[in-house]
């Protein structure tokens, strides 16, 4: 007789190129806050290539430890790479949200090709955390679903 073993694997696969948004959560090393970094984009297909335009960046954070405060938050976002016409495009912005929930329209106008030279689309969120006067540390939450590594 032949004995056989079968395995079935289940994967949850996020097809980011079909969507229009992605949220990445992050918790600091002391489990004092959880932060959420969200980006929204508009996808366009030109000649079989996916082009994306970063339209909005937003985020928030919630406190898990009442002794900790966020003393500073900086976001750096960009939509860089090769535009439909073939030339390079470098769109970037930076904000310092003061509220624990924020949303900004990027104002960007040029879509960039996913997988093409220089593609880097997303948002980096850096929070400086503080407990009393003694210690400060940082939490960085990256949300960059479209990056071409050359």
Tell me if 146 sits within 8 A of 120, measured CB to CB: yes
pLDDT at 63: 96
Distance CA(60)–CA(31), nearest Å, equals 16
pLDDT < 70 stretches in the chain? 1-2, 4-19, 150
Tell me if 76 sits within 8 A of 142, measured CB to CB: no
Residues 6+ apart with CB under 8 A from 96: 72, 73, 74, 75
The pTM (predicted TM-score) of the whole model is: 0.84
What ranges make up the beta strands (E) of the chain?
21-27, 33-46, 49-63, 68-82, 88-95, 101-105, 112-113, 120-131, 135-147
Q: DSSP alpha helices (H): ranges in 8-120?
A: none
């Amino acid at each position: 007789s032949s004995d056989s073993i079968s395995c079935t694997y289940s994967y949850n696969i996020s097809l980011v190129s079909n969507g229009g948004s992605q949220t990445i959560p992050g918790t600091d090393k002391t489990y004092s806050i959880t932060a959420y970094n969200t980006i929204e984009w508009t996808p366009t297909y030109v000649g079989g290539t996916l082009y994306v335009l970063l339209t909005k960046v937003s985020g928030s954070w919630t406190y898990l430890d009442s002794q900790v405060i966020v003393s500073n938050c900086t976001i750096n976002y960009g939509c860089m790479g090769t535009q439909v016409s073939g030339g390079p495009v470098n769109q970037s912005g930076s904000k310092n949200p003061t509220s624990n929930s924020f949303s900004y329209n990027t104002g960007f106008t040029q879509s960039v090709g996913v997988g093409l030279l220089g593609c880097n689309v997303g948002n980096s969120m850096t929070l400086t955390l503080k407990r009393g006067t003694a210690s400060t540390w940082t939490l960085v939450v990256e949300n960059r679903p479209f990056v071409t590594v050359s």
